[in-house]
A = this chain, B = another copy of it.
Amino acid sequence: MTTTNAAQNRARAKAEYNAFLAVCPSRQLLDRISDKWVVLVLCALGGDGAGAPETPGPLRYSELARLLAGVSQKMLTQTLRSLERDGLLTRTVTPTVPVTVTYELTELGSSLHEVTRGLRNWAQNHMPEVLGHREEYDAR
C-alpha cells in the first residue's frame, strides 16, 4: 500500500491548515517572506546596506553578491528571481559590453522593506537579551 505517501499527506495537511488556522491565508507568502536571503536582499536594496545613510538606489548583481557575502550565486539568483516574479523588485538589463544588470525595489517591495527592517531592528536590539537567556537555559 503506502497509499499514504508524502504528496497525499501534504495535500491533506494543507487543507486542514486553511480550515483551522484560517487566520493565515497568507501562509505561502509568509513562507516566502520568512526567508533569510529575502530579508537581506530587501535590506540591501532598501538602503540599510552599511549603517551610514546609503543610497537606496539600484544595485548591480555583483554589488549585491558582495554585500551579502555569504550567499552563493545560486541562492542570490533564485531569491532575486522570486522577488521579481512577485513584483517586489525590477530587473534591468543594460546591454553594455559586459552586460550590466541592476535590481531595484518597486513600491511594493519598499513597503515590505519597512516591515523587514523592523525585524532586523528587533533582532539587533534584543540580541544581547536573547543570548543571555540562552546561556541561562543551557546552564541548567
Taking residues whose C-beta sits less than 8 angstroms from the other chain, chain A's interface range is 35 or more
- Interface residue? A118 (CB, 8 A): yes
Question: Least Cβ distance of A65 to chain B in Å?
Answer: 10
The answer to whether residues A29 and B67 also contact, given A21-B40, A24-B120 and a CB cut-off of 8 A, is no
**Which of A14, A122, A134 has the most B CB atoms < 10 Å from its CB?**
A122
**Judging by beta carbons under 8 Å apart, are A137 and B85 in contact?**
yes
Contact B119 A20 (CB under 8 A): no
Instruction: Tell me whether A49 and B68 are in contact (CB under 8 A).
Output: no
Interface SS majority for chain A: helix
Contact yes or no, A70 B123, CB < 8 A? no
Q: How many Å from the CB of A113 to the closest CB on chain B?
A: 10
CB of A69 within 8 A of CB of B119, answer no
Type the 1/0 row for A30-66, where 1 means its CB is closer than 8 Å to any CB of B: 1101111001100110001111000000000000001
The docked-state distance in angstroms from the alpha carbon of A25 to that of B128 is: 11
